[in-house]
Amino acid sequence: MLIADTSVAVPKLMRAAVYRGRGSIAVETVPTPQAGPGELLVRVESCGVCHTDLKKVEHDLLPPPRIFGHEMAGVVAAVGEGVRTFQPGQPVVAFHHSPCSDCFYCRRRLYAQCATYKRVGITAGFEPAGGGFSEYVRVMDWIVRRGVIPVPDGVPLDRACFVEPVNTCLKAVRQLALEPGELVVVLGQGPIGLIFTMLARRAGAVVVATDMIARRRELAARMGAAAAWDPRDTDIVKEVASMTGGRGGDVVIVAVSAPGITGQAIACSRPGSRILLFSQTSHRERIEMSGADICVGERLVLGSYSASVDLQEESARLVFSGELPLEDLISHRFPLDRIREGIDIALHPDEQSLKIVIQPQRRTS
């Protein structure tokens, strides 16, 4: 049995941005998915463009066809048999991964390594890939049980779609165990880097940031960074050393993927520091660093990937409460028909571009 939202008829066909390989993504008409027992059908209202999706499109990391997009918020359009906790018409955010909570990795809270977690639990059709770049998505039963969060009244869904990326950054910050007063260097001030700046400041750290785009450096200062430098014309190592009695940063967060970036992280960190790799998500990416810088320098290099189920409520509260000025990060809102334009801007950022949000229900005017 399927319970539909009687206020909005669910169409048999919908529009979706389909990845067809070789960097090609285009809006097509596809069948609207249907919710089975224990599942939800969600009408997507907002979906952020994530850099991991950009890598998949630009570098053909996964076989087509797929419908990407996972930073999503929307409205329940229909509920499957047995669903009692959600109702049609209810605004929600949904995580596309959720762990089993009982395997070797889950018992160690390494949820992203859980086999169940690795299965994508939201689809708009084809091989499940998130599906947020479409008008409707089917949310599978194990996600409905643990990975769907109601959005309070009055919270804009453009803001709500930040819950998943905030969770991923919060997980990394907790892994770093920041102490008040530590100097944290955040390399890169794209949307993720700026969220790291906000969260590190919230943890009591002194934050300095780098980015080549002036507007992003200005935003970093507004978000609490003590300094924000252009790495092309500033000696970052010298500046950080001058702030730390010559030692270097206590923590370096690598929030951008670029050639030589890990070497810069080592250079501006002190012996015994922690270095977090966050943006190195493709197996094609290679990093080089001196073994002695790690071993003799007693540096700790950490990796952090995806979200934590333990932090769902806290990340949602940070987003819904407005404590983090996340809507300030949105530079463009595009209807689905203009997703190619949005992806191109995200791939080639300029002085004005930052977070790109796709609004599938919006029509091109």
Q: Are 228 and 221 in contact (CB under 8 A)?
A: yes
The tens place of each residue's pLDDT in the chain, 365 residues long, gives: 444 444 468 999 999 999 999 889 999 999 999 999 999 999 999 999 999 999 898 888 899 999 999 999 999 999 999 999 999 999 999 999 999 999 999 999 999 999 999 999 999 999 999 999 999 999 999 999 999 999 999 999 999 999 999 999 999 999 999 999 999 999 999 999 999 999 999 999 999 999 999 999 999 999 999 999 999 999 999 999 999 999 999 999 999 998 899 999 999 999 999 999 999 988 888 888 899 999 999 999 999 999 999 999 999 999 999 999 999 999 999 999 999 999 999 999 999 999 999 999 988 76
pLDDT score recorded for residue 1: 41
The reply to whether the predicted model has a pTM over 0.85 is yes
The amino acid at residue 155 is: V
Q: pLDDT value at position 259?
A: 87
Name the 3-class secondary structure at 143: helix
Burial (CB < 10 A; 0-12, 13-18, 19+), residue 247, is middle
Based on the number of CB atoms within 10 Å of its own CB, is 12 exposed (0-12), middle (13-18) or buried (19 or more)? exposed
84: which 2 tokens? Answer: 């009692």
pLDDT at 8: 60
Query: Distances in Å between the alpha carbon of 147 and those of 97, 164, 225, 307?
Result: 7, 10, 32, 11
Q: What is the dihedral of CA 177, 180, 181, 185, to 10 degrees?
A: 40
Q: How far is the CA of 258 from the CAs of 49, 244, 281, in angstroms?
A: 19, 26, 12
Which pLDDT score is estimated for 7? 46
In this chain, the answer to whether the domains covering 2-162+324-359 and 167-303 adopt an identical fold is no
* Model pLDDT, residue 287: 86
Beta-bridged to residue 332, according to DSSP, are 356
Query: Residue 18 is inside which H or E element, if any?
Result: strand 13-21
Please provide the CATH number assigned to the domain covering 167-303. 3.40.50.720
The pLDDT value recorded for residue 347 is 92
Identify the H or E element spanning 174.
helix 163-176
Specify the CATH number for 2-162+324-359; select among 1.20.1250.20, 3.10.20.90, 2.60.120.380, 3.90.180.10. 3.90.180.10
Domain ranges in the chain are 2-162+324-359, 167-303
C-alpha angle 210/290/188, rounded to 5°? Answer: 15
